[in-house]
Structure 1
Amino acid sequence: MRLVPWWTLLSSACAPLVLIGGWSVAALLEGPAYDPATQTISVLAAYGASGYWVMTPALFALGVCHLLTARGLRPAAFAGRVALGGGGFAALVVALVPPPSSGGSLRHGSVAAVGFTLLAVWPVLAAVRGASAPWALRPGPSLAASALMGLAALWFLIEMQQDDGAIGAAERLVTAMQALWPFVVVASCVRRPYGDRPRG
């Protein structure tokens, strides 16, 4: 018997696919006026954007994927599962409160910031000790994952302060890392027999 159900592997694998696929298709629909290096993903999900009908469902699907993965990732520490699920819920809310076609949105930005934070800290909160722990849930890899996401988020914050900065590239790096790491964790669990489940 496996540590995680089969559908957890499916949900975690779909998360980066729907996110990256969504922003890629939405950017194509926006045409050459949209610059993915200097413009955020939120621009694609804004009211009136050509890619709105693609990016909004993609964000919603991302949230569902994270919620399902959090539910099935039984070997992870409970706090980490809660943080991953919280990040998924934040993605659902981001999809439901898109920014306006021009200007910023405090609601959208606040929810997105909460989601970024939860998805950055969940790896270290999910860590478990013990030789039988899946490698991606051990403290070392978990701390490294959170640290890398934190550095990428710092780059994003720095780019936000710059005129014509690479804010889009920074945001894509952060979100891609956060969408991919659950799959890495689940893949490290999937072949371990249930009897080897780490305790604590």
Structure 2
Amino acid sequence: MRRDVVARYALWSSAAAPVLLIGGWTLAAALQPGPSVQREGYDSLRDTISALAGYGAAHRWVMTLALLGVGACHLATARGLRPLATPARVMLGVGGAATVLAAAFPLPAAGTSGAHQTAATVAFVCLALWPALWRHAGGEPARPPVSVMVPATLVMVALVLGFTAALGAGVLAGLAERLAAGAQAVWPFVTVLLLRRSPRATLIRV
């Protein structure tokens, strides 16, 4: 198996991840009931993505399947990004597996879930940091250079920290989470596209 080629399925899996995530939270939010005397309606600016897959949500299967799909896509992309060094691929894969676990351990109807919070935290951290480990599988820096990958990592880390702060303050936590999760879902696709332009890494049908 050649290490200087990107598997074709990585292009499709990386492209599917943001579609599943953004499409999932959009559809799931639209299916939530509006505000009533007994309860507030779901607010995408205020409420988290996890709440859409929690036991208190209507049609929770929509967001649950979306999260499972996103996690599976990250796992497939990590496997297909052969030109990258093993640490980067492993961290992306762990982020995908943690996303699957976050869906498998949904939030309760009231309160929090330690298992869900742990899985979500691992997913956010891994999916923010894996670009910093991007090197060619042979030990040389993969293209594009560090000048692209380091800023990408810093931006995603900043977005995750912003979400953490918003969650603690209870202000626009839903918006902050969507910005962080959306950026993390898109970056593997950007990675595949950038690697396709590298003279050392080509896309093959596998």
Report the CA distance between 1:191 and its aligned residue.
4.6
Partner of 2:37: none
Change beyond 3 A, Cα 1:176–1:54: same
Residue pairs, 1:76-87, within 5 angstroms? 76-87=84-95
What is the distance in 1 between the residues matched to 2:52 and 2:201? 42
2:150 to 143, 155, 158: 143
What is the correspondence of 1:58-77 to structure 2 with a 5 Å cutoff? Answer: 58-77=66-85
Cα deviation code 1:15-74 (max 9, x no counterpart):
000000000000000144110001000110001411311000000000110000000001
The 3-state SS of whatever aligns with 1:39 is coil
Aligned AA (1:168) = G
Q: Is the 8 A contact 2:75 2:96 kept in 1?
A: yes
Distance (Å, rounded) in 1 between the aligned partners of 2:107 and 2:31: 18
| C-alpha RMSD over aligned residues | 1.9
Q: In structure 1, which of residues 115, 120, 123 is the aligned counterpart of residue 123 of structure 2?
A: 115
CA distance in 1, matches of 2:135, 2:124: 19
CA deviations on 1:88-124 (whole Å, 9 max, x unpaired) are 0001111111010111111101110011111111000
The 2-side partners of 1:169 and 1:110 are apart by 21
Are residues 175 and 181 of structure 1, via their aligned partners in 2, closer, same or farther at CA, if it must alter by over 3 Å?
same
CA drift of 1:127 comes to 3.5
Which structure dedicates a bigger proportion of its chain to helix? 1
Matched, 1:89 2:88: no
Amino acid at match of 2:152: A
AA matched with 2:28: A
SS at match of 2:58: coil
Runs of at least 5 residues in structure 2 that lack an aligned partner in the other structure: 35-40
Aligned to 1:155: 162
Asked whether the 8 Å contact 2:95–2:122 carries over to 1, the reply is yes
Secondary structure of the 1:4 match is: strand
Once residues 101 and 140 of structure 1 are traced to their aligned partners in structure 2, the CA distance between those partners, rounded to angstroms, is: 44
CA distance in 1, matches of 2:63, 2:72: 14
Q: Which residue of 1 aligns with 2:24?
A: 22
Three-state SS of the structure 1 residue aligned to 2:98 is: helix
Unaligned runs of 5+ in 1: none
| 8 Å CA contact retained: 1:27, 1:51 | no
Aligned length: 192
**Paired residue secondary structure (1:30):** coil
Which residue does the alignment assign to 1:181?
A: 187
| Structure 2 CA distance for aligned equivalents of residues 167 and 59 of structure 1 | 18
Letter in 2 for 1:178: Q
Do residues 40 (structure 1) and 42 (structure 2) align? no
Give, in angstroms, the shift of residue 188 of structure 1.
1.2
**SS of equivalent to 2:31:** helix
Where does residue 170 of structure 1 map in the other structure?
176
Query: In the aligned structure 2, how far is the partner of 1:161 from the partner of 1:53?
Result: 27
Q: Please say if residues 59 and 95 of structure 1, whose CA atoms lie closer than 8 Å, have aligned partners that are also in contact.
A: yes
Instruction: Give the distance between the partners of 1:91 and 1:29, measured in 2 at CA.
Output: 22
Deviation string 1:117-171 (CA, Å, 9 cap, x unpaired) is: 111110001234758x332xx21211111100111111111112214x0100000
